[in-house]
A and B are shown apart, each in its own frame.
Chain A
Amino acid sequence: MTGHGTHTGAHSAQDVAQRALELSRADGAVVLVDESSTANLRWANNTLTTNGVAAGRTVTVISTVAGAQGTAAGVLARSGVDLDGVEDLVRASERAARDAGPAEDAQPLAGPADNPDSGAAWDQPPAGTSIDVFASFAPALGEAFDAARSAGRLLFGFAEHTVTTTYLATSAGLRLKHDQPEGRLELNAKSPDFARSAWAGAHTRDFADVDVVRLGDQLAQRLDWQKRRIELPAGRYETLLPPSAVADLLIVMLWVASARDAADGRTVFSAPPDSGGPAGTKVGTRLGGQGLRIWSDPHAPGIQSAPFAVAHRSTSSSSVFDNGLPVASRDWVRDGVLERLVTTRQSAAATGLPLTAGADNLLMDGGGRATLEEMARGTERGLLLTCLWYIREVDERSLLLTGLTRDGVYLVEGGEVSGVVNNFRFNESPVDLLGRIAEAGRPEACLPREWNDYFMRAHVPALRIGDFNMSSVSQAS
């Protein structure tokens, strides 16, 4: 965080939230004020291509109206709202609630008794960022360009820093604030003919810990590995998945982990009738080996996330009525067994499963402590991937995913990288993979290559899979 970003309004976020609650004529109201600022640099072919700074405020008003059939909610969000625009927003939200009819997820709104952190940080100003966050990074990037240029390499990539401060207030008296700094760096090196390509990514909270010159040197080594090219056919291969690839696969699994959808019989976590799973789900089913743990923790160092529920709309796995409830560490898989699915208060009551907020970060530990390099040295013959790309669901019943390998598939023989292999299209299910882990490495911070626009806080190990399904060869390099 480098100080305040661009001006977003004449009045403070807290004043706007307070005024919205004062103006409300609904039976209940929740106000979310998100103050955000962001700065970014993008480059290609060893030169800058685009850049920018932006700042904004979005105010979301959730009005709840009780009726004979139940309680309704109206959700209205607008950007750039200041005190003079609040009343219009509140009235629109109330109209929407009156038009909506009963909400299935209706619950009492949270108050101070529901969250002991209420009021603790409420009066603090929002955090922010600006283009100055790159004051030392930009010259270092210039050095990396110089080094690449003189060695005949091309650098491409993107650096972004965003800070979002969320103020949450309810008509029941809850007052919460959360600062979420988030930074990412993607660096891609290519040979001038684009035939060789290597990638590295980093997640950071402030860019102070990013060494772009060092990353550039690492990519230079990877491009050297690619000077020997080996063509391999499609098939099942022993494969080392780096942390970025593991995170990208598991994130999809967490996104479909709605208890409600599972109980309706329509996800990979649905259990066949009469199988004994709670509420028709696979909770309690073994997915992987003993010692395997997958969890989310708002206080995990380096990948902290909001310690309370923030829902700008209701979905099958989140509820606007649950805004402000505390979020604690929760295990998705414990000792290899599916422990939790995502619930709201309503779906928890309906399924009998515990209240469990959705994942905002991802941690995994398979008990191993080897680095990826050590795992490669222990490989007789296998593929070492860099990252995965264009991952999409093929079959919701098995959660079969398809996608591509990208920016370097290496053949490891006798513990050494013997050359670069063509890319592949894979077809695999992350749920199925959990049961086929031959080795898990040391958990590491990583940047999920595919999903970092939406999810970038991950700390997971590399995995060795004995028979990863490379369905076809891709000519892409």
Chain B
Amino acid sequence: MSQQFADGSGGGAPDADTARVDPGFLALPLREMARSALDAARRLGADHADFRAERIREQTIRLRDAQLDGVSDSAQAGICVRVVHEGTWGFAAGVVQTPEAAARLAEQAVQVARVSRPVNVEPVALAPEPSYGERTWVSAYETDPFDVPDTEKLALLTAWSRRLLAAEGVDHVDAQLHAVKENKFYADVHGTTTIQQRVRVHPRLEAVTVDAAGVHGTPGAFESMRTLAPPAGRGWEYLTGAGGWDWDAELDALPGLLAEKLAAPSVEAGVYDLVIDPSNLWLTIHESVGHATELDRALGYEAAYAGTSFATLDRLGTLKYGSAAMNVTGDRTVEHGLATIGYDDEGVATQRWDIVKDGVLAGYQLDRRTARLKGLHGGRSNGCAFADSPGHAPIQRMANVSLQPAPGGPSTEELIGRVARGLYIVGDKSWSIDMQRYNFQFTGQRAYLIEDGRLAGQVRDFAYQATTTDFWGSMEAVGGPQTYRLGGAFNCGKGQPGQIAPVSHGTPSALFRGVRILNTVQEAGR
């Protein structure tokens, strides 16, 4: 199934997509609230106003050693109004969903703008965007996870947990399913109205082994290993084998991989060539390319919190980000991507564009304000505004930022075959990067020593540490499309007040030369 765009019916008979939108959300007086809020904002002299109504359902099911640890189910619903009044932002949000409450929020938003006006010296202006009338968009999924009985979800997670616990050497198993269903209604004074619905799921299991007797070293030492299945913009089918992930294969292999990790030698610190699997490299892309190419960061809007970026605007078109093999796109349209949607939270139709082309910085992620400020992307936003709840104003958030594979490029095995001494790193775990996105350090779920082009068993206690442009400059080759996979996360944090955003990153396997590897036991001084 692919995402579908549909022209709205203007309040008439529902079209195909509208029929898939949660009827409980559609039953709200959405258009009446929008009209009331936007009329009030206009009456009070707002230059721009937009209204959102949202409902976000979330469910988390957690099991510990095949016993239920907790089920929590929440629904957050509310409305908000954002205005530009005399060149200053104003934003107000509330939970009462009536036209009268919407009008009051518009008044509050204008009042917030007035209180803030004395400390605003940079008038807000927004990049133009066509008016789309009324549109409906629904993400690509088969089965709404909130339509599946909890008993069925619990039964599957319990069976998976028991299967792992039954394996030799597995002492503990944590299992978790996180599911989200997001409904957004947006309307602005320029005539765009959108109704959208997204579904995403993240199942994960982690197995722990404890070496109580110290067979492989210190008594009481332990190791853990987590499934690699990434979170996805899919429904319940993702867990039942119809959603692109082979759970049986992963659960069958996990205990053996964990046992091998416990018995593995500690890595020798030094400089290695790395072949990095998509299950690990997505996070490195996220931190060192995704965040570094957000224009609000590059302009300093995040300077006191998330930080700025070494990829400053004056280096657009000249900064050598990486090797010629590096081609990165921003994309909010890819099927099953976590940042994928039809229209952003400023009414901008979503797009795909170049961020790094042949190793050179080629573009940024934009919202309407930053697009207008610097005139990039033809003076039009590329649709990266997002608010994580009706209680928050939209800020520029990350698109699905992805490293492109090489057409006809090598397999992962062929990349490994090019390495005389190196590591093959699989799965994400620990991550950290500095406030200008230069210096980073990552670990993984497992790493294999490569000797003369072949895997020679796991090593443990590894971390790789590098500077962004050195690292991407050392990328000798990317794998072909057959190695390409989407990774991602539900909870990318940014902004104050803090907001989280779901985002995916596609990447092939890739080969890097001469990267520093740390031994984390030595780093701990032990």
Which A residues are closer than 8 A to B by beta carbons? 6-9, 38, 40-58, 72-80, 92, 95-96, 99-104, 131, 134-135, 138-139, 141-142, 145, 154, 156-158, 160, 186-188, 190, 194, 197, 199, 264-266, 270-275, 312-316, 320, 389-398, 400, 402-404, 406, 423, 425, 427-429, 432, 453, 469, 471-477
Question: B105 — which chain A residues lie within 8 A by C-beta?
Answer: 6
- Selected from B88, B121, B122, B521, the residue in CB contact (under 8 A) with A398 is B521
Smallest Cβ-Cβ distance to A55: which chain B residue = B94
Q: How far is the CA of A315 from the CA of B432 in the complex (A)?
A: 26
Closest 8 pairs between A and B when the two form their complex, measured CB to CB: A80-B95, A272-B220, A188-B304, A156-B304, A52-B91, A476-B436, A474-B439, A54-B93
Smallest Cβ-Cβ distance to A160: which chain B residue = B497
Q: Min CB distance, B57 to chain A, in Å?
A: 9
Question: A404 — which chain B residues lie within 8 A by C-beta?
Answer: 432, 434-435, 439
> Is B456's beta carbon under 8 Å from chain A?
no
B window 195-250: CB within 8 A of A:
208, 210, 212-214, 218-222, 224
A-B contact pairs, 16 of them (CB 8 A): A7-B101, A8-B96, A45-B300, A52-B93, A76-B72, A76-B73, A79-B77, A138-B119, A270-B222, A273-B219, A316-B69, A320-B70, A404-B439, A425-B439, A427-B518, A477-B436
- Selected from B64, B95, B154, B518, the residue in CB contact (under 8 A) with A104 is B64
Please determine whether B222 and A397 come into contact, CB atoms closer than 8 angstroms: yes
Question: B304 — which chain A residues lie within 8 A by C-beta?
Answer: 44, 156-158, 186-188, 199
Question: B461 — which chain A residues lie within 8 A by C-beta?
Answer: 395
Please determine whether A273 and B72 come into contact, CB atoms closer than 8 angstroms: no
Smallest Cβ-Cβ distance to B301: which chain A residue = A44
Smallest Cβ-Cβ distance to A60: which chain B residue = B74
- A-binding segment of B44-52, B108-116, B415-423: B108-116
Please determine whether A314 and B69 come into contact, CB atoms closer than 8 angstroms: yes
Please determine whether A394 and B463 come into contact, CB atoms closer than 8 angstroms: yes
Q: How far is the CA of A188 from the CA of B305 in the complex (A)?
A: 9
Smallest Cβ-Cβ distance to B522: which chain A residue = A427
Please determine whether A47 and B120 come into contact, CB atoms closer than 8 angstroms: yes
Please determine whether B210 and A131 come into contact, CB atoms closer than 8 angstroms: no
B window 57-78: CB within 8 A of A:
60, 62, 64, 67-78
> What DSSP secondary structure best describes chain B's contact surface?
mixed
Q: Min CB distance, A382 to chain B, in Å?
A: 18
Smallest Cβ-Cβ distance to A319: which chain B residue = B70
Q: A77-B73, A134-B115, A186-B304 are in contact. Are A403 and B432 (CB under 8 A)?
A: yes
Question: A394 — which chain B residues lie within 8 A by C-beta?
Answer: 430, 441, 443, 463, 520, 523
Q: Min CB distance, B43 to chain A, in Å?
A: 20
Smallest Cβ-Cβ distance to A5: which chain B residue = B94
> Is B172's beta carbon under 8 Å from chain A?
yes
Q: A142-B118, A199-B304, A474-B434 are in contact. Are A92 and B95 (CB under 8 A)?
A: no
Please determine whether B96 and A312 come into contact, CB atoms closer than 8 angstroms: no
Q: A55-B95, A265-B220, A393-B430 are in contact. Are A6 and B108 (CB under 8 A)?
A: yes
B window 421-465: CB within 8 A of A:
430-439, 441, 443, 461, 463, 465
Q: Min CB distance, B381 to chain A, in Å?
A: 17
Question: B11 — which chain A residues lie within 8 A by C-beta?
Answer: none
Question: B441 — which chain A residues lie within 8 A by C-beta?
Answer: 394, 402, 425, 427, 471
Please determine whether B303 and A390 come into contact, CB atoms closer than 8 angstroms: no
Please determine whether B210 and A265 come into contact, CB atoms closer than 8 angstroms: yes
> Is B310's beta carbon under 8 Å from chain A?
yes
Q: How far is the CA of A15 from the CA of B433 in the complex (A)?
A: 48
Q: Min CB distance, B502 to chain A, in Å?
A: 18
Q: How far is the CA of A272 from the CA of B214 in the complex (A)?
A: 9
Please determine whether A272 and B218 come into contact, CB atoms closer than 8 angstroms: yes
Q: How far is the CA of A89 from the CA of B340 in the complex (A)?
A: 31
> Is B10's beta carbon under 8 Å from chain A?
no
Q: Min CB distance, B521 to chain A, in Å?
A: 7
Question: B516 — which chain A residues lie within 8 A by C-beta?
Answer: 472
| Given pairs A52-B497, A58-B74, A96-B150, 16 additional interface contacts (CB within 8 A) | A41-B116, A52-B93, A76-B72, A95-B150, A100-B68, A102-B68, A104-B68, A158-B305, A272-B218, A392-B431, A398-B526, A400-B523, A402-B441, A427-B441, A469-B525, A474-B438
- Selected from B212, B437, B520, the residue in CB contact (under 8 A) with A427 is B520
Smallest Cβ-Cβ distance to A405: which chain B residue = B434
B window 31-61: CB within 8 A of A:
60
Question: B89 — which chain A residues lie within 8 A by C-beta?
Answer: 48-51
Q: How far is the CA of A432 from the CA of B461 in the complex (A)?
A: 18
Q: How far is the CA of A158 from the CA of B395 in the complex (A)?
A: 15
Please determine whether A138 and B70 come into contact, CB atoms closer than 8 angstroms: no
Smallest Cβ-Cβ distance to A312: which chain B residue = B72
Please determine whether A48 and B88 come into contact, CB atoms closer than 8 angstroms: yes
Question: B476 — which chain A residues lie within 8 A by C-beta?
Answer: none
B 89-104 to A, binary, CB cutoff 8 A, 1 in contact else 0: 1111111110001001
- Selected from B116, B150, B214, B523, the residue in CB contact (under 8 A) with A138 is B116
Question: B498 — which chain A residues lie within 8 A by C-beta?
Answer: 453
Question: A395 — which chain B residues lie within 8 A by C-beta?
Answer: 430, 461, 520-521, 524
Q: Min CB distance, B70 to chain A, in Å?
A: 4
B window 146-175: CB within 8 A of A:
149-151, 154, 171-172
Question: B96 — which chain A residues lie within 8 A by C-beta?
Answer: 7-9, 80
Q: How far is the CA of A391 from the CA of B6 in the complex (A)?
A: 44
Question: B518 — which chain A residues lie within 8 A by C-beta?
Answer: 427, 471
Please determine whether B465 and A471 come into contact, CB atoms closer than 8 angstroms: yes
Please determine whether A56 and B219 come into contact, CB atoms closer than 8 angstroms: no
Please determine whether A79 and B95 come into contact, CB atoms closer than 8 angstroms: yes
Q: How far is the CA of A316 from the CA of B221 in the complex (A)?
A: 21
Q: Min CB distance, A160 to chain B, in Å?
A: 6
Q: How far is the CA of A158 from the CA of B465 in the complex (A)?
A: 31
> Is B467's beta carbon under 8 Å from chain A?
yes
Q: Min CB distance, B221 to chain A, in Å?
A: 7
Please determine whether A186 and B305 come into contact, CB atoms closer than 8 angstroms: yes
Q: Min CB distance, A313 to chain B, in Å?
A: 4
Please determine whether B465 and A194 come into contact, CB atoms closer than 8 angstroms: no
Please determine whether B171 and A475 come into contact, CB atoms closer than 8 angstroms: no
> Is B308's beta carbon under 8 Å from chain A?
yes
Smallest Cβ-Cβ distance to B120: which chain A residue = A48
- Selected from B92, B115, B208, the residue in CB contact (under 8 A) with A266 is B208
Smallest Cβ-Cβ distance to B213: which chain A residue = A273
Question: B395 — which chain A residues lie within 8 A by C-beta?
Answer: 50
